[in-house]
Amino acid sequence: MDDSELEQILATVHALLIAEDMVDAADLVRLYPARSEQTGYDNWNGGTAIWDVYFEVPPKEYAHLGARRTQLEEQVTARLKTVLEVETQDWYSAKIVPARAYRKEWRVEETGLPRQARVNILDGLRLEGTRWNGTLDEVEFLSRIFDLQVLPSFDTRFKDAAGDIWQHCINNDDWEPDWVFSDDRFKLLDGPAEPFLNFLCETVNPVVRPDRDEALKLVSHFNDQLRPSGWELYEEERIAGRPRFAHRVLTHNGDRAVLRARTVADALDAGWMAKAIERLERAIDGDPDLAIGTSKELVEACCKTILSNRGIPFTKSDDLGNLTKKLTKELRLVPEGITDEAKGADNIRLILRNLTQLTNNLAQLRGLYGTGHGRDGRHRGLQPRHARLAVASAVAFIDFIAETHRHLAGIEKRIEN
C-alpha cells in the first residue's frame, strides 16, 4: 500500500471514529504520521498478507497513553477492517509505537525546563517593564550567580565579562535592557535549568527587590509558567521579615492541590482566595500548622466569594458552618434534592453529606493543630503529610462548589436570554 492509498483509508477511518464519538482514537489517526508495513503472510484460504499500520507518537505522549494504547489500537483496527474488507482479504492491524527521538546531544542531560516557558517568563518581564536586576547594577546582580572574572569579554578592551558589562551597561549604557537574555555566556534560554532558576530567584531576592508585594507578584507570574514543567519558586527563609525564594521540583499531591485551588480562584476572580493560596503554597512543607489553618480560611473565602457573587447576604458573625449551610442551600447541594429513584441515590447522598462536613472537620482540625491559638511549650505540630490532607480536602470542596456555581450561573443566564 502506497502513501496516497493509506491517506485515503485513514481519512475514512477517522470519519468513522468521529461518527461513533471515539474522539481519542480519531485524534490519534489525524495527528500522528502513519506508515504501513507487511509483517507476515498466511497461506491459508488462498493466501493472506498481514499488514501493520504504525502510528508514530512522540515518546512523552506515548508514555502518557499507558494502558489506553491497547484500547485505541483495537478501535482503529476494527475501523480499518470495516473500510478494507470489501476490497481485500489482507489483514490490517493498528500499532502505536514511539517515534524516534534522536538528537545529536542525546547523551547530554536534558535541561528540564522547556525553552518556551523561559521565553514566556522573560517576555513577561519585558511587558511589565521590570528591571531584572532590581536595585543593583548589572555587574553586582550577575556576580551573585556567575563568576564574571572567568567569563570572557566581547569587548577587546576588557579581559573579562565584568569589565565588558560595566563598560556597556554602567559607563556607556549602550546595550538594550534585556541583553542578558540572549547573551551566550549565560545561556538563560537554552542552557541547563539550574542557572535560569537561580536567575529568577535572584530577581526576587529582598536585596535586589526590597518591595515585598512586587516580589510576590513576580513569583506568582514565574510559577504560572514553571509549574506546568514541574518546577516552582517557594519561600525558603526570611531575611529581615522579607521572603527569600529558592526553586524546587514539584513532587507532592499538595502541590497539585494548590495548583487546582489557584485555578478556582482565577475563575472566581477572588482576591481573598489568592492571598490564602499564596500562604498555602509556602506553608505545606515548611509550616504544616499554618497550612492547616489556611485551608479553613480558603474554604471560608470561597464560600463568601460565591455568596457575594449570587447576592446572598451574610454577616461577620457567620461562622464557617453557617456560611456552608447558606451556600449548600443556594446551590441546591442538599441531599434531599436527589430522588430515591435515581441510580445510586444513597451513595450520592452520602458523598454530598460528607462533602459539606469537610468544612466542619477542617475548622475542628484548625482548633486542635492549626494556627490561631496559643500553645504551651510541649505542643508538637503535625507533619507535612497531614497538611497535604487538609489542603486536598479543602480544595475538593471549593472545586466542587465553584463548578456547581458556574453550572447554575450558565443555566440561569440561558433562562434570562
What does DSSP say about strands 91-98 and 231-239: parallel, antiparallel, or unpaired? unpaired
What's the whole-number mean pLDDT along residues 280-301? Answer: 73
In the structure grid, which three cell numbers stand for residue 192, read together? 541547563
Give the rounded distance of the alpha carbon of 183 from its chain centre: 29
Residue 17 pLDDT > 90: yes
The per-residue pLDDT for 317 is 87
In the structure grid, which three cell numbers stand for residue 94, read together? 493498528
Pair 84, 51: CB distance under 8 Å: no
Per-residue pLDDT reduced to its tens digit, 117-165: 999 999 999 998 899 999 999 999 999 999 999 999 998 999 999 999 9
Q: Against a cut of 0.75, is the pTM above it?
A: no
DSSP 181: G
Residue 223 pLDDT > 60: yes
Cα 3 to Cα 6, 87, 92, distances in angstroms = 5, 17, 15
The per-residue pLDDT for 218 is 92
The per-residue pLDDT for 352 is 63
- CA-CA distance, 150 to 221, in Å (whole number)? 32
Pair 413, 276: CB distance under 8 Å: no
- CA-CA distance, 220 to 241, in Å (whole number)? 19
In the structure grid, which three cell numbers stand for residue 173, read together? 549604557
